Amino acid sequence: MNPRYFRFFAALLALLSTACSHTELRGSGDLGVVIEREKGSVQIVNTSQPSPLSRISDLGDLSHASVVFSRDQRYAYIFGRDGGLSKIDLLQDKLEKRIVQAGNSIGGAISQDGKLIAVSNYTPGGVKIFSAETLEQIADIPAVYGEDGRLSKVVGLADASDHRFVFTLFDADEIWIADVKNPKQPAIQKFKNIGKQPYDALLTPDGRYYLAGLFGESGLAKLDMWQPEAGVQRVLPDYGKHDEKLPVYKMPHLQGWTSSGDWLFVPAVGQHEVLVIDKHNWQLIKRIPVVGQPVFVTARPDGRQVWVNFAFPDNQQVQVVDVKDLSVIKTLQPGKAVLHMEFTPRGEAVWLAVRDEDRVMVYDTETLTETARLPADKPSGIFFSSRANQLGL
List contacts with ligand HEC (CB under 6 A): 248-251
Which span (21-29, 103-111, 131-139, 271-279) binds another protein, by CB under 8 A?
A: 103-111
Q: Which residue, 249 or 282, is less far from ligand HEC as judged by CB? A: 249
Our measurement of the distance from residue 61's CA atom to the centroid of its chain's CA atoms, rounded to an integer in Å, reads: 17
Choose from ligand HEC, another protein, none: what does 216 bind? Cβ within 5-8 Å by kind.
another protein
d(C-alpha 190, C-alpha 148), whole Å: 17
CB 357 within 8 A of CB 338: no
Residue 79 and residue 63: Cα distance in Å, rounded? 10
Residue 61 partner contact from another protein, ligand HEC, none using kind-dependent CB cut-offs of 5 to 8 Å: another protein
Binding mask 252-291 for another protein (x = CB under 8 A): ----------------------------------------
- Indicate the helix (H) or strand (E) that contains 3: helix 3-23
Beta bridge partners of 56: 42
267: preceding bond cis by omega (within 30 degrees)? no
Nearer to ligand HEC, 50 or 213 (CB): 213
Q: Beta strands 232-235 and 220-224: pairing type?
A: antiparallel
- Residue of 26, 55, 82, 98 interacting with another protein (CB under 8 A): 82
CB 294 within 8 Å of CB 267: yes
Site string for another protein, 142-161 (x = CB under 8 A): -----------x--------
How many other CB atoms are found less than 10 A from the CB of residue 199?
20
Q: Which is nearer to another protein, 142 or 228 (CB)?
A: 142
Q: Does 39 bind another protein (CB under 8 A)?
A: no
We find the least distance from the C-beta atom of residue 80 to ligand HEC, in angstroms, to be 19
| Least CB distance to another protein at residue 14 (A) | 42
Rounded CA-CA distance 360/320 in Å is: 18
CA torsion through residues 18, 22, 23, 24, sign: positive
Q: Which residues pair with 48 in a beta bridge?
A: none
For position 197 contacting another protein by CB under 8 A, the verdict is: yes
Q: How far is CA 170 from CA 121, 148, 365, in A?
A: 11, 17, 36
**Shortest distance in whole angstroms from residue 191 CB to another protein:** 21
248 is a contact residue toward another protein (CB under 8 A): yes
Report the interface residues with another protein, using CB under 8 A.
Answer: 37-38, 61, 63-64, 81-82, 103-104, 106, 122-123, 153, 170, 197, 199, 215-216, 247-251, 312-313, 337, 355-356
